[in-house]
Amino acid sequence: MKVLLKNGLIVDGSGKAGFRGDVLIEDALIRSVSHVPIIVEACKTIDCSGKVVAPGFIDAHSHNDRAVCLKNDLPYLEPFIRQGITTFVAGNCGRSVVGSERNRLFLWETPDDEDTKVWETYHEYFDHVRKHGIRQNMVLLAGHETAHISVMGNKPIIRTPLEQRKKIERVLEEGLDAGCKGISFGLGYSVCKMMDDEEIREISELAIKRNAVISIHSRTLNVSLPQFYGDDYSEPHNIRWHREFFERFRDSGAKLQVAHLVFMGSAAWPTFDRFFEMFDTYMNHKGIDLWFDMYNYTQGTADIGLLLTPYFYKNIDDIYDNPDKIRTLQKEMQESFHLKGYDPSLMQVCNGYSMKYKKYQGQFFPEVEKKTGMSVTDLIMDIYRESGGAGTIYTLFDQKEEDINIQMTHPHALYATDGWYEPSTHQNACTYGAMPKYLHLARESGNITIEECVAHMTGMTADRYNMHGRGYLRDGYFADIVVFNPKTVTTKATFENPDIYPIGIEHVFVNGGHLFDDGKLNTEIRSGYIV
């Protein structure tokens, strides 16, 4: 099938100035990108006058590896398709869908037993996805936390015994053998909250040897750092931890990716310039291939466990019935909140993963505290217990809008949603609006051209993850293409009203399949590939 896109502004994913021209799609490939009119008999011709024709957007940080397995996957994927996303990088934050029964806390609410199947091997998972067919392309990372839980269970540990660590490494290596493009670590979550950074460095050798990406969910997002650094607050927490962590990878040749880089907590906001001065030093002079991915809302979603200190996990077996230990925990959490600039009154219940807290979804902590009669410490502990550690919250203090505008322009920034759709919950606005918001911010701020913005969303991410034949509008490349209106494209999603589709995205092609056509989704097309 031939589709001709005529008279559009061709923004090819390289960051170079766009030009007026035509793009010819034939089956799954781009046959021609031309400055001059293409004369050909096509099955469909679309007039793109006044519109941008660009490579399909690549979500550098997604959690959609569960969604592609579901029979009824459309509700999970439609919000991303309507953003112009043709490829997503999944398995982030140490959590990929492959694991054992012990990994059920990471499985979403799904409609039937078959859909909640636990994928024991990456080969089994990839085989299923290929047979099932997917709507968009997917790149998968092997999740360390998932592998750890499959071997050790869901209990925090400082140093994994050698025999068990070798088992974990075999799981991750199997993932790389099956086709994963890297390994992700979730150092902000309960299992890895106290884990020795040197162990992470040693496990990372699996990826370094293969020139694969190592994605790191920073430990600085949780409240545990006073447990590591004691009373030494001479250096901002996010500067200190990242510097010490980067040092472990110095001259290693690692392809290191800081996952969803945010300056979470008001105490971190003044460190923006200093952080990037340090980041650029390691990027340019310390032998690390260093990048980061980002999202563009000032709010984010986090596990409830992020708010608990290592003291809680060390005493988890009896802390609920021990008032003295609860008081100690309360003091430590207050100290940590103060150190990080966390304000519990600006936190919302996203998903309590329990009937008890389902009715409080979308409500702020002070309101829930009032209704339940609990203190904030008791509330956080109870959500953790009721949900099996899976409860999630919204935090309204991730970063400043003006810093987002600057961060977008960094030469090693990759754009992402950090999104997922989950039924029966208060959604994350990024799930519905992140990619159009990047384009909106570029248009309104003037800090970055539309061509440069598109490059961050396409070619740069494709190059980072070795997506051969993708990320650019070039002859012979896969026909992953988005057509949007540069004057109107924007997000409508907010954290108060998140589930609203964007405007300005008009056409989406995935490997030549016309998945989204002028506001209408073609539900029959499954033209995506595992990349």
Q: Please give the structure tokens belonging to residue 338.
A: 């103060």
pLDDT in tens, 39-92: 998 899 999 999 999 999 999 999 999 888 888 899 999 999 999 999 999 999
Buried b (16+ CB within 10 A) or exposed e, 40-57: eebeeebebeebbbbbbb
Expressed in angstroms, the distance from the first to the final Cα of the chain is 23
pLDDT for 423 beyond 90: no
Give 336-349 as a DSSP string. Answer: HHHHHT--GGGEEE
In which band, very low, low, confident or very high, does the pLDDT at 438 lie, cut at 50, 70 and 90?
very high
Q: Please give the structure tokens belonging to residue 100.
A: 């054992």
pLDDT in tens, 374-383: 999 999 999 9
In which band, very low, low, confident or very high, does the pLDDT at 33 lie, cut at 50, 70 and 90?
very high
Using alpha carbons only, give the angle 262, 265, 269 rounded to the nearest 5 degrees.
Answer: 70
CA distance 368 to 370: 5
Q: Which are the contacts of 384, defined by CB distance < 8 A and separation ≥ 6? A: 304, 305, 308, 391
Would you give the distance in Å from CA 350 to the centre of its chain? 17
pLDDT of residue 230: 62
> Residue 228: which of 274, 193, 191 has the closest Cα?
193
Using alpha carbons only, give the angle 221, 179, 172 rounded to the nearest 5 degrees.
Answer: 50
Residue carrying the six token digits 């071997």 = 151
pLDDT of residue 224: 64
Q: Angle between the 323-340 and 376-387 helix axes, to the nearest 10 degrees?
A: 100
pLDDT for 238 beyond 90: no
Contact 195, 152 (CB under 8 A): no
Task: Report the SS3 class of residue 376.
Answer: helix
Mean pLDDT calculated for residue range 451-477: 98
The CATH code belonging to domain 53-299+398-492+499-521 is 3.20.20.140
pLDDT in tens, 285-329: 777 899 999 999 988 888 888 888 888 888 988 999 999 999 999
pLDDT for 252 beyond 80: yes
Q: Please give the structure tokens belonging to residue 146.
A: 């998932």
Contact 96, 106 (CB under 8 A): no
pLDDT of residue 335: 85
pLDDT for 22 beyond 70: yes
pLDDT of residue 211: 95
As a dihedral over the C-alpha atoms of residue 430, residue 525, residue 27, residue 470, rounded to 10 degrees, the angle is 20
pLDDT of residue 185: 95
pLDDT in tens, 335-374: 888 888 888 888 888 877 788 888 898 889 999 999 999 9
Q: What is the pTM of this model?
A: 0.93
CA distance 494 to 238: 27
pLDDT of residue 231: 64
Q: Please give the structure tokens belonging to residue 506.
A: 């008009």
pLDDT in tens, 82-113: 999 999 999 999 988 886 544 444 444 444 44
pLDDT in tens, 505-519: 999 999 999 999 988
Region for 398 from its dihedrals, namely left if φ exceeds 0, alpha if ψ lies in -120 to 50, beta otherwise = alpha
pLDDT of residue 240: 87
Taking all residues of the chain, what is their mean pLDDT, rounded to a whole number? 89
Residue carrying the six token digits 């790149």 = 139
Neighbours of 231 (CB within 10 A): 7
Residues of the chain with CATH 3.20.20.140: 53-299+398-492+499-521
Contact 344, 337 (CB under 8 A): yes
CA-CA-CA-CA torsion sign (375, 376, 381, 382): positive
pLDDT of residue 99: 66
pLDDT in tens, 180-224: 999 999 987 778 878 888 999 999 999 999 999 999 998 877 766
Mean pLDDT calculated for residue range 160-171: 93
Secondary-structure breakdown of the chain: helix, strand, coil percentages, each rounded to the nearest 5: 40, 20, 40
